[in-house]
């Protein structure tokens, strides 16, 4: 039987998890948790690089973050498929690795693949707990699904302090060498290869950090509010 993990981060494309939640992956690993990353596609529609290069880059990024595993499914980049067949593949992963929490993209984003990923992961997380749905693996339902933001900004439900793992996150982002700014690259320019894109990622991390009075933060949205055991600790180091 495969080793279980505490958290599984799902993304539509390789680099989605790194850009929005990589600091939280690295922090969780640093805190002793076991973390898996699952990309629903191989990012084969990317303008730069090739699927082989992106696969190598994704493996290097997962290694930089300390993930226990990274898995790439084949739901089709640019037209992400979400039928029962795809749902069952996610259910199989959840029942095998039995995460306590699942993290997915907020299911409303400019990129339809992100929206579809948020929806199918949420729905599969529920269905994975149905005992009557027999797949040969014991039913398992995570405690909840947490969401990260991508293009659309929403009010965060909470922010994770990732100041200590921001450098590791950026190392994982830079592992996608074919995608980001490289003055020597002869490949066509894209939205994310523009130097302004990485400056935006830094600014966003600093902005979310400022909301909780730390250097860098990553924001999450929940449909179910978190229980706070220590209200004072949750606001420590701050002044209104």
C-alpha torsion 125→55→105→112, nearest 10: -110
Among 9, 13, 93, 96, binds Zn ion (CB under 5 A): 13
C-alpha to C-alpha distance for 70 and 6, rounded to whole angstroms: 14
| Minimum distance from residue 66 beta carbon to Zn ion (Å) | 22
CB of 96 or CB of 193, closer to Zn ion: 193
166-174 and 195-211 are packed helices; what angle lies between their axes, rounded to 10 degrees?
A: 160
Task: Work out whether the CA dihedral 221, 153, 61, 161 comes out positive or negative.
Answer: negative
Q: Which residues pair with 36 in a beta bridge?
A: 8, 69
Element (H, E) at 85: helix 84-97
CB 173, min distance to Zn ion, A: 13
CB closer to Zn ion, 13 vs 34: 13
Could you tell me the smallest distance in angstroms from the CB atom of residue 31 to Zn ion? 26
Considering only the stretches 10-18, 119-127, 141-149, 200-208, report the one whose residues sit in contact with Zn ion under the rule CB under 5 A: 10-18
List for the chain the helix, strand, coil content (%; round to 5).
40, 15, 45
Cα–Cα distance, 174 to 181 (Å, whole number): 9
**CA–CA gap between residue 72 and residue 168 (Å, rounded):** 22
Task: By CB under 5 A, name the one of 7, 10, 16, 166 that touches Zn ion.
Answer: 16
Instruction: Give yes or no for residue 18 binding Zn ion (CB under 5 A).
Output: no
Q: Which of 5, 7, 8, 12 is the binder for Zn ion (CB under 5 A)?
A: 12
According to DSSP, the residues that pair with 218 across neighbouring strands are 160
Q: Which residue is nearest to Zn ion (CB)?
A: 13
Query: In the complex with Zn ion, which residue's Cβ is closer, 12 or 93?
Result: 12
Q: At closest approach, how far in Å is the CB of 143 from Zn ion?
A: 25
CB of residue 213 vs Zn ion: minimum separation in angstroms?
30
Binding segment toward Zn ion, per CB under 5 A, in 13-21, 74-82, 92-100, 172-180: 13-21
What residues does 7 pair with on adjacent strands?
A: 35, 101
Q: Please say which residue, 14 or 156, places its beta carbon nearer to Zn ion.
A: 14
In the bound complex, what is the minimum distance in angstroms from residue 105's beta carbon to Zn ion?
8
Residue 47 or residue 143: which is nearer to Zn ion going by CB?
47
Q: How far is the CB of 190 from Zn ion (least distance, A)?
A: 12
Count of CB atoms within 10 A of residue 143's CB? 11
Nearer to Zn ion, 96 or 179 (CB): 179
Token pair recorded at residue 112: 């339809």
Q: Report the SS3 class of residue 6.
A: coil
Binding site for Zn ion (CB under 5 A): 12-13, 16
């Amino acid at each position: 039987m495969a080793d279980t993990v505490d958290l599984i981060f799902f993304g539509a494309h390789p680099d989605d998890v790194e850009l929005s939640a990589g600091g939280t992956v690295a922090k969780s690993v640093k805190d002793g948790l076991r973390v898996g990353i699952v990309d629903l596609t191989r990012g084969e529609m990317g303008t730069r690089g090739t699927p082989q290069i992106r696969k190598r880059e994704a493996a290097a990024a997962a290694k930089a973050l300390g993930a226990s595993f990274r898995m790439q499914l084949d739901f089709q980049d640019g037209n992400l498929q979400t039928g029962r067949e795809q749902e069952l593949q996610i259910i199989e992963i959840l029942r095998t690795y039995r995460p306590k929490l699942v993290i997915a993209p907020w299911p409303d984003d400019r990129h339809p693949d992100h929206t579809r990923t948020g929806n199918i992961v949420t729905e599969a997380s529920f269905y994975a707990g149905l005992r009557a749905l027999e797949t040969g693996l014991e039913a398992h339902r995570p405690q909840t699904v947490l969401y990260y933001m991508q293009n659309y900004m929403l009010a965060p439900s909470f922010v994770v302090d990732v100041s200590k793992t921001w450098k590791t996150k950026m190392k994982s982002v830079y592992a996608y060498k074919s995608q980001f700014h490289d003055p020597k690259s002869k490949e066509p320019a894209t939205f994310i290869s523009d130097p302004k894109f990485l400056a935006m990622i830094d600014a966003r991390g600093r902005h979310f950090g400022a909301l909780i009075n730390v250097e860098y933060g990553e924001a999450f949205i929940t449909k179910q509010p978190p229980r706070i055991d220590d209200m004072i600790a949750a606001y420590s180091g701050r002044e209104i």
